[in-house]
């Protein structure tokens, strides 16, 4: 009879990448975006650049740490995490985003407002970075993605004031539907966060009504 199998976890160093579209003129703020499952920073940056009225903001797209090829092997896509080694992956990702924000504040400005925007799986990363990370953020925008279940007021940091927030989804989105949105609004209440909720015509996607809502929500932060 063979011996028992033991599982052991070790920390391993890796590297991540982020893309920056510099602001026009003097920087007014830093918008940091987190892409969805099976996307990458280049795809996400194109969506951030399509948001009107933010020419004075640096727009940043962060690549998730876990890479894989698409089915044809032509493109490298990325994922933030799976259920495997979940707690360790959360800690790794939060530390990674903290390091990204350290670098960005040094490059662009230490006293500028920071807003986090996540799409789908990236929405959960935006909430984790805002509530578990070292950097205080001025706004969190979540498109078609939920507040992760491990976030609780007692485990989160205590910002000087709750971030301004927007939660949005399409009325035809079968994954992030009205029930999920309502549940997230209730889950954020104990944090003192009162998001604007937007339901737009469409599915699991970016739309012009959403982009206009982002512009409105970030107005006044610069």
71: domain CATH number is 3.40.50.1820
| Within a domain: 23 | yes
Spell out the per-residue pLDDT of the chain, length 222, in tens. Answer: 578 999 999 989 999 999 999 999 999 999 999 999 999 999 999 999 999 999 999 999 999 999 999 888 789 999 999 999 999 999 999 999 999 999 999 999 989 999 999 999 999 999 999 999 999 999 999 999 999 999 988 766 655 678 999 999 999 999 999 999 999 999 999 999 999 999 999 999 999 999 999 999 999 886
Residue-level pLDDT at 123: 98
pLDDT at 156: 64
Has residue 10 been placed in a domain? no
> Cα dist. 51→44, 202, 206 in Å?
12, 17, 10
How many domains is the chain built from? Answer: 1
Query: Does the residue 6 lie in any domain?
Result: no
For 39, which DSSP code? B
Full strand arrangement of the beta sheet holding 196-200: 18-21, 57-62, 29-34, 114-119, 139-143, 164-170, 196-200
Phi/psi for 98 (5° steps) reads -55, -45
Q: Is residue 3 part of a domain?
A: no
pLDDT at residue 71 in the model: 85
Structural domain boundaries enclosing 170: 18-218
Question: In this structure, is residue 4 part of a structural domain?
Answer: no
Domain contains 2: no
Is 7 part of any domain? no
């Amino acid at each position: 009879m063979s011996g028992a199998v033991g599982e052991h976890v070790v920390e391993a160093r890796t590297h991540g990448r982020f893309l920056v579209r510099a602001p026009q003129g003097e920087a007014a703020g830093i918008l940091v975006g987190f892409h969805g499952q099976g996307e990458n920073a280049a795809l996400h940056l194109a969506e951030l650049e399509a948001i009107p009225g933010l020419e004075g903001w640096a727009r940043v797209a962060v690549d998730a740490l876990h890479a894989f090829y698409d089915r044809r092997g032509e493109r490298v896509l990325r994922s933030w995490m799976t259920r495997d080694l979940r707690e360790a992956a959360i800690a790794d990702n939060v530390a990674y985003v903290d390091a990204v924000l350290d670098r960005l504040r040094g490059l662009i400005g230490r006293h500028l407002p920071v807003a986090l925007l996540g799409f789908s799986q990236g929405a959960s990363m935006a909430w984790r970075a805002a509530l578990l990370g070292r950097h205080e953020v001025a706004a969190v925008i979540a498109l078609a993605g939920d507040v992760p279940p491990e976030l609780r007021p007692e485990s989160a940091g205590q910002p000087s004031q709750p971030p301004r927030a927007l939660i949005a989804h399409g009325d035809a989105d079968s994954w992030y539907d009205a029930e999920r949105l309502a549940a997230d609004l209730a889950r954020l209440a104990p944090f003192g966060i009162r998001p604007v909720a937007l339901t737009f015509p469409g599915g699991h996607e970016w739309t012009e009504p959403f982009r206009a809502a982002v512009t409105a929500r970030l107005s006044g932060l610069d």
